[in-house]
Amino acid sequence: MNKQVRAVLGIDIGGTGIKGAPVNIETGELLAERHRIETPQPATPEAVGKVVSELVEHFAWTGPVGCTFPAIVHNGQTLSAANVDKSWINAQAEQILGKACGLPLKLVNDADAAGLAEVTFGAAHGKKGKILVLTLGTGIGSALIVDGKLITNTEFGHLIFPKDGIAEHYCSARVKEEGGLKWKEFNPRLNAYLLHLQLLFSPDLFIIGGGISKKADKFIPEMQGLRCAVVPAELKNEAGIVGAALEAAACFAA
Which pLDDT value is given to residue 4? Answer: 52
Interhelix angle 239-252/110-121, rounded to 10 degrees, is 90
Q: How far apart are CA 25 and CA 116, in angstroms?
A: 12
User: Residue 197: which CATH number?
Assistant: 3.30.420.40
Q: Which residue has the higher pLDDT, 5 or 50?
A: 50
Question: CB-based burial of residue 4 (10 Å sphere; 0-12 exposed, 13-18 middle, 19+ buried)?
Answer: exposed
Model pLDDT for residues 114-133, shown as the tens digit of each residue? 999 999 999 999 999 999 99
Q: Could you read off the pLDDT of 54-99 as tens digits, one per residue?
A: 999 999 999 999 999 999 999 999 999 877 899 999 999 999 999 9
Q: Please report, rounded to a whole number, the percentage of residues in the chain having pLDDT higher than 90.
A: 91
Confidence (pLDDT) at 164: 87
How much is the average pLDDT of 159-179?
A: 96
Q: What is the pLDDT of residue 5?
A: 47
Q: Which helix (H) or strand (E) holds 107?
A: strand 105-109
Pairing of strands 149-151, 140-146: antiparallel
> First vs last Cα of the chain: how many Å apart?
7
pLDDT digits (tens, 9 = 90+) for 216-253: 999 999 999 999 999 999 998 899 999 999 999 999 97
- Domain shared by 246 and 199, yes or no: no
Read off the pLDDT of residues 93-117 as tens digits, 9 standing for 90 and up. Answer: 999 999 999 999 999 999 999 999 9
In the 8-state DSSP scheme, what is residue 132? E
The number of distinct structural domains making up the chain is 2
Say if 76 falls within a structural domain: yes
- Residue 2 scores a pLDDT above 60: no
**Predicted local distance difference test score (pLDDT) of residue 211:** 85
Of 157, 161, 165, nearest in space to 208 by CA: 157
For residue 3, the SS3 value is: coil
Residue 246 maps to a domain: yes
* Average pLDDT in the chain: 95
Residue 204 within any structural domain of the chain: yes
1 domain-assigned: no
- Looking at the structure, do residues 59 and 127 belong to the same domain, yes or no? no
> What is the structure's pLDDT at 132?
98
Residue 118 lies in a domain: no
Domain coverage including residue 29? 7-109+238-252
* Residues forming a β-bridge with 69: 109
Do the domain assignments include residue 37?
Answer: yes
Residue 218 sits in the same domain as residue 141: yes
Q: What is the pTM of this model?
A: 0.92
Residues 94 and 76 in one domain: yes
Residue 115 lies in a domain: no
pLDDT value for 83: 77
- 140 and 92 in a common domain: no
The three-state secondary structure class of 99 is: helix
Q: Compute the distance between CA of residue 110 and CA of residue 19 in angstroms, rounded to an integer.
A: 12
Asked if residue 135 and residue 79 are part of one domain, the reply reads no
